[in-house]
Amino acid sequence: MKIILMTAIGMVLLSSPAFASDDTIAKESVLTTDQGGFDGPKENDTLNTVEDVMNAEWLTDGMPVTIIGHITMSLGNDQYTFADDTGSMTVKIGPYVWDEQKVTPKNKVQIVGKIAKNDSSSAVIANSLKILSK
C-alpha cells in the first residue's frame, strides 16, 4: 500500500513541472507583443505631416505622431532633418531606433514618435523607424 501511495505521489510530483511549463509557455505566448498585427496610423493620430506638427499650436510634449517622408541630413547628436512634401523639421533618432537598418535620403520612411516642444519650435523624438521604399 505504501509503495502504491509513494509511486502515485511521485508521479504527480514529476508530472507537475510539465503542466507548469505548458501553462507558462501558453501565458508567454499570450503576453508577447511581437506577434504581428496592424502597423499604421491610429484613428486619433491626426499629426501625419511636417506641416501638421509645425503648425499645431495645441501640441504638448509627448503627443504621439506618425510621419512619413525622408531623412535628408544628419545634424549630429542623434538629430536629423526630416522632410516630406509639406516641409522639413528636426527629428531625434537614437541608435536603438535604427534597428540595424541603413537609410539614405532616397528611402521613404515612417517614423512613429512623440512631440518634443519648446518655446520656439517642435521636434519629433522617434520611437520606431520603418523603411517603406528603397
The whole-number pLDDT of residue 29 equals 41
- pTM assigned to the model: 0.65
Instruction: Give the model confidence (pLDDT) of 77-121 as tens digits.
Output: 999 999 999 999 999 999 999 999 999 999 999 999 998 887 667
Residue pLDDT, tens place only, 1-55: 555 545 556 555 555 444 444 444 444 444 444 566 655 555 555 677 898 888 7
Res. 71: pLDDT tops 90? yes
Q: Which residues pair with 130 in a beta bridge?
A: 110
Looking up cell 519650435 gives 121
- Give pLDDT, residue 129: 96
Report yes or no: 122 and 89 within 8 Å, Cβ to Cβ.
yes
